[in-house]
Amino acid sequence: VEPIGIIELLDAGERDDKVIALPVDPALRTVDVADMDRLPKAAQDILVAWLLNYDPEDGAQLVGVKGRAEAMEAIRKWAVR
* CATH code of the domain in which 35 resides: 3.90.80.10
Domain count, the chain: 1
pTM > 0.85: yes or no: yes
Per-residue pLDDT tens, the chain, 81 aa: give them: 999 999 999 998 899 999 999 999 999 998 999 999 999 999 999 999 999 998 878 789 999 999 999 999 999 999 987
Strands 61-67 and 14-15: unpaired
Give the domain extent around 25: 2-78
